[in-house]
Amino acid sequence: MKTETLHLNNKNELNGFSTEMIGDDHLYTGLETPMKKDAFKLSDTEKKQRIALLFEEIMDVMGLDLTDDSLKGTPDRVAKMYIDEIFSGLNPENKPKVALFENKYRYNQMLLEKNITFYSNCEHHFVPIIGKAHLAYISSGKVIGLSKLNRIVQYYAKRPQVQERLTNQIANELKTILDTEDIAVIIDAKHLCVSSRGIKDDTSATVTAYYGGAFNTPEKIAELQNYLNH
């Protein structure tokens, strides 16, 4: 579907929604993380150099004294943090290598890995999303190492995100790797774009869920919820 960007009263509008409305109302534009075609034309080293220069300019515009010992290294630290840490999931080279194993135990019930802590960042304001992910699957003949479930969550979390997209990206990755539709993903997260700015609601949390295959029944959802509550 083609989208057009219109300008009305000096505010950008996308499909009838202002860009401000999209950010504050937690909307997003698609399942894939929006990336430029030439996103990897620059090396990571070159990206860090560019980001450091640009962030230094931002700090200067805000009136900060970049000669101060506490601040003068900040642009480089931010650049390194962006590329090597909190947004490292943008680079497909950082995608975790996953090995599958034969289900020799013939275990054909639910496997649940719960309370996977993750830190992400809201793509609308670049402030943290802090949450826990719960992943479940029923083996179709292969099993995955437990730590790889954590690594998949971290990979997709380490990019500018929207929680609904994060939920579906993790689910689709698990379906592809495990070759099964019997996947469940539940994410419970706190968004600092809600608690620290805007409405400033520090008590609310956001829960999203994906139930595929055998998990998309009231009985299986109830079983899953029972495990999560213990």
Catalytic residue among 56, 169, 173, 191: 191
> Are the C-beta atoms of residues 122 and 90 closer than 8 Å to each other?
no
Active site residue 193: yes
Return the amino acid letter for 223.
E
Catalytic residue among 49, 125, 181, 223: 125
What secondary structure does DSSP assign to 62-102, as a single string? TT--TTSTTTTTHHHHHHHIIIIIITGGGSGGGSPP--EEE
Q: What angle do CA 89, 93, 182 make, to 5 degrees?
A: 65
158 three-class SS: coil
Q: Phi and psi for 135 in degrees, rounded to 5?
A: -120, 135
What is the C-alpha to C-alpha distance for residues 163 and 209, in angstroms, rounded to an integer?
A: 10
Catalytic residue among 134, 154, 169, 193: 193
> Are the C-beta atoms of residues 29 and 17 closer than 8 Å to each other?
no
| 54: its two tokens | 């640009």
Catalytic residue among 56, 124, 134, 154: 124
Active site residue 191: yes
What is the C-alpha to C-alpha distance for residues 209 and 220, in angstroms, rounded to an integer?
A: 13
Active site residue 123: yes
Catalytic residue among 123, 161, 169, 173: 123
Catalytic residue among 122, 154, 169, 173: 122
> Are the C-beta atoms of residues 178 and 149 closer than 8 Å to each other?
no
Spatial neighbors of 82 by CB under 8 A, at least 6 apart, are: 48, 51
Catalytic residue among 154, 161, 163, 169: 163
Active site residue 122: yes
Cite the active site residues: 122-125, 163, 191, 193
